[in-house]
């Protein structure tokens, strides 16, 4: 397989994933309360073996598999896609940097869909500039542990997650070099949080740490090297955020194509109007270009090629911006009906905005690309 074409097995697997999502996962998503963790949906992802594709027994995550999973699920059910992605984002640091004990305790529960994970990096004033985080890990006596004090914000699956990968400042050095990653179970004393009511229907909230105790056994990787734990996870997941965006873009494009073929206006179908047909042609081209860039970034990651940060940033940048354009154009082609609550495009319109911000905003991706160009 090259970076620019899927083999027949991957194509067949994607078709199977879309059918499975529509048949088994979308009904569970439709029954859920917006803004809350949908545990039946997470359990179904485990029962169907989809979470295991992110956490294979050999321990090596195939970035292209992750992209194909997220794109295929997103075309049929964004809630299912996001539930899967959040499990990966929260637990991937455990897979990559956790001890044998940590992996044995949590990864089987995550892959089975019994435990819900969270990735707690962002803070109220430390989002795009993640190295500016202020959650404090103060030394806790002679035992070599710490107590966490402060707040995390915009955390997916918070405060309902069963555990969180938490990044706190232990102060070995200034900036990113003084950050440590901890695995913090939800039942630790002093840990609380609340839900945030957001534009999209996904569970997002705060985590409040009031002297939460953590020990050396809770550290992921090494003290003072937590920012590397975060960046390894984000480098893997950034191309797949692009894949999520491409799934939404394709769903919007498919809806626009169907509507333009069947909607009659000015004496014929909308697709007969050059302004509409050329718009669809441009969108289809941009979606395919973004898809190929996502696949290329994932294939480069899997091959251990150089320049992963630049490739991942390019993929996320183009894919998320393209998805925003595709959904907006599809709404325009549909007209007012697309703005009615419950319409697919109304749903996508709310969903598509956030990926241009999280895991590095569009402006951050441009900064990364420019920095890498001048290395």
- Stretch 208-215: mean pLDDT: 97
Is the pLDDT confidence value at 95 over 80?
yes
Residue 309 included in any domain? yes
70-102 as b/e: b if 16+ CB within 10 A:
bbbbbbbbbbbbbbbbbbbbbbbbbbbbbbeeb
CA atoms within 13 A on the CB side of 306: 3
Shared-domain flag, residues 122 and 212: yes
In this prediction, residue 173 carries a pLDDT of 76
CA dihedral 290, 294, 296, 301 (to 10 degrees): 160
Question: Which bin fits 40, alpha (ψ -120 to 50), beta or left (φ > 0)?
Answer: alpha
Residue 128 included in any domain? yes
Residue ending a domain, choose from 162, 197, 226: 226
Shared-domain flag, residues 211 and 297: no
Is the pLDDT confidence value at 3 over 50?
no
Residue 192 included in any domain? yes
Q: Exposure of 358 by Cβ count < 10 A (0-12 exposed, 13-18 middle, 19+ buried)?
A: middle
Shared-domain flag, residues 354 and 237: yes
Mean pLDDT score of the chain: 93
In this prediction, residue 238 carries a pLDDT of 87
Q: Could you tell me the CA-to-CA distances from 115 to 42, 160, 164, 329 in Å, in that order? A: 9, 10, 11, 39
- Stretch 283-303: mean pLDDT: 95
In this prediction, residue 2 carries a pLDDT of 43
Q: Which 3 state secondary structure label does DSSP give 34?
A: coil
Is the pLDDT confidence value at 324 over 80?
yes
Lowest-confidence pick of 37-41, 129-133, 204-208, 252-256:
129-133
Residue 137 included in any domain? yes
In this prediction, residue 59 carries a pLDDT of 65
In this prediction, residue 82 carries a pLDDT of 96
Supply the pTM of this predicted model: 0.93
Candidates 289, 364, 286; CA nearest to 328 is 286
In this prediction, residue 57 carries a pLDDT of 73
Q: Exposure of 267 by Cβ count < 10 A (0-12 exposed, 13-18 middle, 19+ buried)?
A: exposed
In this prediction, residue 282 carries a pLDDT of 97
Is the pLDDT confidence value at 86 over 60?
yes
Q: How many domains does the chain have?
A: 3
Verify whether residue 30 is a known catalytic residue.
no
Shared-domain flag, residues 152 and 271: no
The boundaries of the domain holding residue 67 are 8-117
In this prediction, residue 323 carries a pLDDT of 98
Confidence band, pLDDT 50/70/90 cuts, at residue 142: low
CATH code: domain of residue 112 = 1.10.540.10
- Stretch 327-335: mean pLDDT: 97
Is the pLDDT confidence value at 174 over 90?
no
Considering the candidates 100, 194, 359, 372, report the single residue annotated as catalytic. Answer: 359
Candidates 136, 152, 154; CA nearest to 214 is 136
- Summarised one tens digit per residue, pLDDT across range 33-84 is 888 999 999 999 999 999 998 887 756 778 999 999 999 999 999 999 999 9
Q: Say which residues have a Cβ less than 8 Å from residue 309's Cβ, sequence separation at least 6.
A: 235, 368, 372
In this prediction, residue 256 carries a pLDDT of 97
In this prediction, residue 5 carries a pLDDT of 75
Shared-domain flag, residues 314 and 232: yes
Q: Which 3 state secondary structure label does DSSP give 16?
A: helix
């Amino acid at each position: 397989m090259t970076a620019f074409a899927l083999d027949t097995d991957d194509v067949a697997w994607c078709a199977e994933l879309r059918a499975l999502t529509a048949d088994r996962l979308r009904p569970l998503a439709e029954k859920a309360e917006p803004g809350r963790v949908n545990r039946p949906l997470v359990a179904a992802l485990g029962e169907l073996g989809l979470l295991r594709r992110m956490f294979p027994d050999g321990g090596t995550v195939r970035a292209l598999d992750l992209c194909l999973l997220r794109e295929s699920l997103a075309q049929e059910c964004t809630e299912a896609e996001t539930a899967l992605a959040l499990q990966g984002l929260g637990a991937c640091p455990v897979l990559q940097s956790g001890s044998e004990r940590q992996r044995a305790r949590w990864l089987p529960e995550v892959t089975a869909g019994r435990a819900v994970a969270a990735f707690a990096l962002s803070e109220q004033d430390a989002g795009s500039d993640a190295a500016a985080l202020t959650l404090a890990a103060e030394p806790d006596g002679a035992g070599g542990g710490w107590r966490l004090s402060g707040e995390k914000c915009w955390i997916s699956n918070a405060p309902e997650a069963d555990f969180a990968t938490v990044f706190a400042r232990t102060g070995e050095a200034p900036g990113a070099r003084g950050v440590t990653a901890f695995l913090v179970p939800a039942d630790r004393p002093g840990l609380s949080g609340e839900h945030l009511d957001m534009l999209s229907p996904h569970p997002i909230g705060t985590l409040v740490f009031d002297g939460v105790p953590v020990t050396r056994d809770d550290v992921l990787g090494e003290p003072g090297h937590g920012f590397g734990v975060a960046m390894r996870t984000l480098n893997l997941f950034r191309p797949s955020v692009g894949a999520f965006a491409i799934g939404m873009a394709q769903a919007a494009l498919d809806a626009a194509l169907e509507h333009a073929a069947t909607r009659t206006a000015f004496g014929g179908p909308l697709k007969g109007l050059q302004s509409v047909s050329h718009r669809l042609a441009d969108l289809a081209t941009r979606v395919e270009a973004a898809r190929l860039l996502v696949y290329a970034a994932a294939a480069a990651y899997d091959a251990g090629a150089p320049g992963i940060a630049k490739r991942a940033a390019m993929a996320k940048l183009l894919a998320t911006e393209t998805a925003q354009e595709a959904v907006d154009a599809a709404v325009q082609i549909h007209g007012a009906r697309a703005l009615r609550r419950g319409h697919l495009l109304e749903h996508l319109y709310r969903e598509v905005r956030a990926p241009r911000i999280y895991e590095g905003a569009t402006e951050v991706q441009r900064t990364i690309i420019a920095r890498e160009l001048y290395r």
